[in-house]
Amino acid sequence: MIEHRDLDGAKRRLTQWWNGEQRDRVTWSIVARRSEARFEPPEEPRARDVEDWWTNPDIRLARWERGFAWSEYLGEAMPYFDTQIGPGSLGLFLGCRPVFDHGTVWYEPCIDDLVTGPDLRWDPGNKWFRAHMDLIGAGLERAQSRYYVGIPDLIEGLDTLAALHNNARLLVDLLDSPAEVHRYLEQVTDLYFQAFDPMYDLVKDDQGGCMFSAFQTWAPGRYAKLQCDVSAAIGPRHFAEFVAPYLEAQCRRLDYAMYHLDGVCAVRHLDALLEIPGLQCIQWTPGAGEPGVDDPRWFDMYRRILKKKLLILIGVPLDRAREVVDAIGAPGLHLVTGGCSVDDGLTALEAAKGWG
């Protein structure tokens, strides 16, 4: 059984949130620090190198289970094993070479020229796809239903094409070779589901629900986080041509879709995002040097999103949650908080029944 105080209640609340239904308090995932470990965590095996540190299932699972042992999952938080090997795993499956660091993974481009470059092909035997599937399989075997196993942060669209090609050259190609950009974007969108579908089929629970590695959220069906960080460097016309149609196509093949809106330069595309059919939620990340998501300067943006009947997910400190909820209301809002004590988390959840 998933180690949660009220798993059925958490799933019920999240299902209501995704469906836009009113609840008795704001939807809130709190991962609290335990004063004692719930079990003796395994020792993490020594890695041969940084690649092994990322890809060895025994090492990865030992690392994550240490976190499980010292964490209490409150509200709508659920324990899960994160299977990503850096953000943007789809690029690895399609030919990028990874550059490993203990903090993240970078990807070396593999397409020099979109005009003369080859079509993208799916290879189920790709080394990095197999590495992800091994992590998923080992996680499911080890979890024994004690925690979820997440779908890795695949990433799609222009962001994956930028990884395969090159950011600067891609921006030039939007102007000089738009037909070739579209050719590749169509392939990336289809190939995304060559990766997603077998992963989802493995990790889905008995309700058909799943965890997606990014942003710690469960949904009661086929669910993924979408994004286009490249959108910070393009205008509305190019967003409408090269981003929105492919997001819409992706949403048609998902039951639930959240968009990761990253940085103030990307906010210019918010109105276009709010019109994409099948997109239910915006997750907001202000970016380096900007005020946190709990700052009042973002409240009008949140109200714009909620007015269009979309949902919002943001990560807030425990002591700032009340101000955010009072300012924009509880309906449609999902808060994520970590690092507090168990007692403080439980007290906050009880108090939140009277907020908004």
Task: State the CB neighbour count (10 A cutoff) for residue 46.
Answer: 8
Task: Write down the CATH number for the domain with range 7-354.
Answer: 3.20.20.210
Q: Per residue in 77-120, pLDDT tens?
A: 999 999 999 999 999 999 999 999 999 999 999 999 999 999 99
Q: Per residue in 137-180, pLDDT tens?
A: 999 999 988 899 999 999 999 999 999 999 999 999 999 999 99
Beta bridge mates, 313: 283, 334
Q: Phi/psi of residue 115, each to 5°? A: -70, -45
- What is the token pair recorded at 262? 């990253």
Letter string b/e over residues 85-102, b meaning 16 or more CB atoms within 10 A of that residue's CB: bbbbbbbbbbbbebebee
State residue 239's pLDDT score.
Answer: 98
Closest CA to 128 of 105, 146, 159, 112: 105
Q: How confident is the model at residue 2 (pLDDT cuts 50, 70, 90)?
A: low
Q: Would you give the DSSP letter of residue 266? A: G
Tell me, what amino acid is at 355? Answer: W
Tell me, what amino acid is at 119? Answer: D
Mean pLDDT of 213-229: 94
Mean pLDDT of 125-142: 97
Give the mean pLDDT of the chain. Answer: 95
- What is the token pair recorded at 23? 């609840």
Residues 6+ apart with CB under 8 A from 233: 167, 171, 265
Q: How far apart are CA 307 and CA 290, in angstroms?
A: 24
Token look-up 């109200």 returns 303
Token look-up 């101000």 returns 323
Q: Are 278 and 245 in contact (CB under 8 A)?
A: no
- What is the token pair recorded at 280? 């239910």
Q: How confident is the model at residue 23 (pLDDT cuts 50, 70, 90)?
A: confident
Residues 6+ apart with CB under 8 A from 230: 158, 159, 162, 167, 170, 171
Q: How far apart are CA 274 and CA 287, in angstroms?
A: 20
Token look-up 């070479």 returns 97
Q: How far apart are CA 259 and CA 184, in angstroms?
A: 21
Q: Per residue in 306-332, pLDDT tens?
A: 999 999 999 999 999 999 999 999 999
Mean pLDDT of 327-339: 96
Q: Phi/psi of residue 25, each to 5°? A: -155, 170
Q: Could you tell me the residue ranges of all domains in the chain?
A: 7-354
Q: Are 152 and 89 in contact (CB under 8 A)?
A: yes
Instruction: Answer whether residue 57 shows pLDDT above 60.
Output: yes
Q: Give the 3-state DSSP-derived string for 102-160, with helices as H, strands as E and coil as C.
A: CCCEEEECCCCCCCCCCCCCCCCCCHHHHHHHHHHHHHHHHHCCCCEECECCCCCHHHH
Q: How far apart are CA 90 and CA 296, in angstroms?
A: 36
State residue 228's pLDDT score.
Answer: 98
Q: Phi/psi of residue 147, each to 5°? A: -155, 165
Q: Are 170 and 230 in contact (CB under 8 A)?
A: yes
Which helix (H) or strand (E) segment is 258 a member of?
strand 256-262
Listed in sequence order, the DSSP H helices in the chain are 7-18, 50-55, 57-69, 89-93, 127-143, 157-164, 167-176, 178-203, 236-242, 244-252, 270-273, 299-307, 321-328, 342-351
Beta bridge mates, 312: 282, 333
- The number of angstroms, rounded, from the C-alpha of 33 to the middle of its chain's C-alpha atoms is 23
Q: Phi/psi of residue 70, each to 5°? A: -105, 15
